[in-house]
Chain A
Amino acid sequence: MLTLLLIVLFTGAALAWCAQYWRPHDGPRAVALMTLITALLLMLPLAANTANGAFIAALDETWLVLEQTPWIPRFGIQWLVAIDGMSLLLILLTLVLGLIAVAASWREIEQRQGFFYFNLLGCLAGVVGVFSALDLFLFFFFWEVMLIPVYFLIAIWGHEARHYAALKFFIFTQASSLLMLISILGLAYLHQQENGFYSFSYFELLGSGSRSPHHFWLMLGFFIAFMVKLPAFPFHTWLPDAHTQAPTAGSIILAGVLLKTGAYGLIRFLIPLFPDSQVSFAPWGMAIGVAGILYGAILAFAQYDLKRLIAYTSISHMGFILLGVYAWNALALQGAVMQMLTHGFSAAALFMIAGAIQHRIHTRDMRAMGGLWPQVPRMAAISLFFVMASLGIPGLGNFIAEFLVLTGSFQVSRTATVLAAGGLVGAAIYSLIMIQKVFHGQASTSHTLADFDRRELSSMTVMMLALLALGLYPQPVINLLQPVLDELLLLNTPLPMRIVGVTP
């Protein structure tokens, strides 16, 4: 079924390109819409089953679906795709945000529509692959598949400095993923040394990294690749450029989904493969996380470009994920995964709003905005909602995520948590200044703007409901993640102190 899902997405991508030649104006986007709806319908029975608690036990009860076929047997490479609760949630997020991205591009993209939707769907397929591949070689393959379409999305449909941004994005991610490739090959080689045959399988390589004499360097290869993707300070500098220049759909996919692959990689691969690093490297990981939170917050405040501001807020929010992952206890990990979901919605929504504003007044410079509230009251009120979500107002999902991360990390490091909590104040400062500059004050120019139309309103409603649900009743998500995270926590319990949630 997972394989089927991937086939549907890739076929949809190809069909969207072809549709350009049949109906250049509305063919590709219709195909993209249909593909994503089909994909969601495919996932629905699984999601429904999971909600009922009827797990399809393949390996053990954490894996809901697992599909396995040899691919290149000589090197032990196989087609191994599987999902557990965490992957399921992230794939659902990917598909929903994919739909939102299509909605956002509905009118924005006029040029070369077919190729655009080909890239959009191709990227989403790659992301779904990343979230489900359990063979490291296959994982790397999908990791690359999701990169290249984004390069085209930025380079072709981007704004004024799109070539620079696209190239920067490509070089940063490509260079770092080559480091990861070396580490993957190193692990496979190590397996060959130990067992006499190559393997890239997640299950066979679990924990093996720590046995290597070069474990620190192998770990660093993964770490840098995931840091760049997340992105964490100081590897974040591609993100503001890429976001600013990308078309709205590109920003939505980048912020909502692509960044999460880095976080996912950390939780799924880095720490399980190198359990020791969790102990030895944790202070560094947490420090980088905290640095990102504070640095991102200050830089977000300094920006004039609306999309750049939101990009820096993403960097700040991703710091919480890093902090949570390296705190590595049930609370913090739940928070980190929750942050992936909630930030996915809130950042995607903010980028969509920024895109909508740019589409209407042809600028992203906040100095040219101001006083937009009376003209676009619905857009303004909805922006306020998402701004409040991103600054962590309780009742919305982002609060649950950050609260869990900080509660969890406080058990491990008080200093890091107290510093990270400073990000809460920073978030208030940069979020409110954004509302002030864009919507409040006197209207600087006499724009006559259209408020959100039905298409935009329905996209926003979906994301608002998602954040409200995650904020008021997150338990189904937590329950879905619980077995996965418990399993991961069992992988390495080096210190008895680390089992948290039960404190004396």
Chain B
Amino acid sequence: MLSLLWLIPTLPMLSSLLLMLGAGRFTRHTSALLGVGSVGLSALIAFAIALSFDTTTVYQHTLWQWFSVGALTPNIAFYLDGLSLVMMLVVTGVGFLIHLYASGYMYNDPDYSRFFASMNLFLAAMLILVLADNLVLLYLGWEGVGLCSYLLIGFWYKDPANGQAARKAFVMTRVGDTAMAIGLFLLFRELGTLNIAELMTAASTRWPEGSPTATLAALLLLGGAVGKSAQLPLQSWLPDAMAGPTPVSALIHAATMVTAGVYLIARHHALFLLSPLAMDSVALVGLITLLIAGFSALVQTDIKRILAYSTMSQIGYMFLALGVGAWSAAIFHLVIHALFKALLFLSAGSIILALQHKQEISEMGGLSRHMPFIFGCFLIGSACLAALPFTSGYFSKEPILIQAWLQSPMLWFGGLLGALITALYSFRLIFVVFFGPLHTEPSGLKLPAVVALRMPLALSILALLSLLGGFLDLPLATVLPTTSGHPPLLIEAINTLVPLFGVLACYSLYHRNPALRQRLIQLPGSQALRRFWLNGWGADHLYDLLFRRPFLWMARINQADIADSLSRGITQLSRYSHLLLVEVQSGQIRWYASIMAIGVAFFIGLGVLT
């Protein structure tokens, strides 16, 4: 079974290639069969491998040697251990459900096969990323993910705003990618290999703890991770990435792309463990991002943007977990988050579809009676997101907070505050969208019955998994260092009660007692704060001022290429002197004669005088 591992990324890749070459000539049915089927097959193989794979071992499979120059000899080779197994299952499993859903959601889009071509390529790139046995191949997947996110965010290319969002995502993540590439150059220069396993062994044997080179390398990799995972300071592309179709958002937020950074750091934990500074940076980046994203999510009015900020915030929890050394907890939260975030996005997609592509939550309301199934799904997703007791989100977030407490009460308090905010914004969404008066009448979908069924099917499976996900036992013990230690019972009790308090507060503000909310809104400065949070803490403005405008300015003033002025100057000079000399050629004898006389007189004078 293990020998089929290479098929897992290859199948979606092939299907993507076929769909591209088909250039829109396939019928919807064939496109869906290829697009969804290939991913389904990959998922099946992945699960079959998971059943038979002994996670205390490692499986490597080399397809061919990519290139070999001196000591740089990366292979096209896959590496399977507990960590990549978990990632592979999430990517193929959740990816398949999103594809299944998308085959219904996108049914009426004219570019159905282009959509699946990009989606499949996205999944293939992500699978290469998590299965790569060396950093060069990982970088291939890494860049491939960036490329596909560009293709999919800008999928509806007719609106320039979508193109803008797609370019923003690509360029911002490329900034991170470039930092990561420099990290690769550094690692290769210092350790002479880019094979991940060899690299980690070499790093831990050759570098002492706290070595500045290790810190630099780890920070450069962190640069790559914050780009792809939308963490501070490269976070602001994610909310705009909502320009793509909703299943794309689900894919970016749940199964692919944003989890890549978390995986990268977990994969290189041996390197990060060498550098306390790098670890602290990871934790701090996570903490700050989870808070600012949480506050932003509180005031957003677009359902997808709320979810986007919540992703940013939840990835922040994963970074916090990585930074405090709770490696398995980070990956566990990644898995659980993938399940409930896919559920939330796809449910939101169903709402958006039913409301004729309205995304503002002010235009929703009272949907619990009209869309009970979606309400149920959304409620499950939100409960997990808010980490209410006994949901899967509770089981995955609790270890993070505990480990944070053991590391530093400050980090714990930040995380706890984040948990409160999470509960607030997720249930604000529930109360505004599903309760209160009905603003827009949901309409039925114009889809063939078989196709329309795929969406609730995917949602039900995701809802079930989100409910039961807490009981999963991930085979990470052999790959990632384990943590131990118990906090006081009081801390655990607080961790459990805070989200409940958040939900109650929300209930009172948005359902029971709206007058209280009005009074809050009228507090001085609250509007300014709201706008500040709404715009993501002004990150866009800041980057606009610091980078975009200077770049545009440089481009504009030098559009004609200043380096050309020398040759243009010479041209001008010879043209002017030409005009000057033309004047001399007047054709008049007396003019020539007088010039000659003056010249002769001048030279005689010169001869006499010297």
Residues of chain A touching chain B, judged by Cβ–Cβ distance below 8 Å, are 168, 172, 233-234, 236-238, 240, 295, 298-299, 301-303, 330-331, 334, 371, 373, 377-378, 381, 388, 392-395, 399-400, 403-404, 406-407, 410-411, 417-418, 421-422, 424-425, 428-429, 432-433, 436, 439-442, 472-475, 478, 500-504
Contact = CB atoms under 8 A, between A and B. Distances in A.
B140 A475 contact: no
B573 interface: no
A224 to B, nearest CB: 14
Given A302-B555, A440-B154, A502-B70, 15 more contacts: A168-B567, A237-B561, A298-B555, A302-B559, A334-B69, A381-B20, A393-B147, A394-B140, A394-B143, A399-B140, A422-B178, A424-B178, A425-B174, A428-B174, A473-B66
A403 B147 contact: no
Contact of B189 (A410, A422, A478): A410
B182 to A, nearest CB: 6
Contacts of B182: 410, 417-418, 421
Contacts of A472: 66, 76
B186 A432 contact: no
B598 to A, nearest CB: 35
Interface in B35-87: 64-72, 76
Question: Looking at chain B's contact residues, is the secondary structure mostly helix, strand, loop, or mixed?
Answer: helix
A52 B115 CA distance: 43
Contact of B561 (A172, A299, A410): A299
B170 A330 contact: no
A303 B559 CA distance: 7
B175 A425 contact: yes
B530 to A, nearest CB: 33
B585 interface: no
Interface bracket on B? 35 or more
Given A237-B567, A394-B140, A502 B554 contact: no
B157 A411 contact: no
Nearest to A400: B67
Nearest to A417: B185
Nearest to B567: A237
A237 B564 contact: yes
A15 to B, nearest CB: 38
A410 B186 contact: yes
Nearest to B140: A394
A334 B71 CA distance: 13
B185 A406 contact: yes
A298 B554 contact: yes
B178 A478 contact: no
B551 A432 contact: no
Interface string B183-201: 0111011101000000000
A369 to B, nearest CB: 13
Contact of A439 (B157, B178, B567): B157
Interface string B539-566: 0000000000001001110110101101
A465 to B, nearest CB: 13
B171 A298 contact: no
Contacts, number: 143
Question: Looking at chain A's contact residues, is the secondary structure mostly helix, strand, loop, or mixed?
Answer: helix
A399 B72 CA distance: 15
Nearest to B67: A474
A371 to B, nearest CB: 7
A392 B72 CA distance: 19
Contact of A411 (B147, B189, B556, B558): B189
13 contacts: A237-B563, A238-B567, A381-B23, A403-B136, A407-B188, A410-B182, A418-B182, A428-B174, A440-B158, A441-B158, A473-B64, A475-B65, A503-B190
B555 to A, nearest CB: 4
Contact of A432 (B136, B140, B150): B150
A501 B563 contact: no
Contacts of B147: 388, 393
A429 B65 CA distance: 32
B559 A432 contact: no
Nearest to B70: A501
B325 interface: no
Contacts of A429: 167, 171, 551
Contacts of B556: 302
B139 interface: yes
B224 interface: no
A386 to B, nearest CB: 13
A503 B167 contact: no
A57 B306 CA distance: 69
B133 interface: no
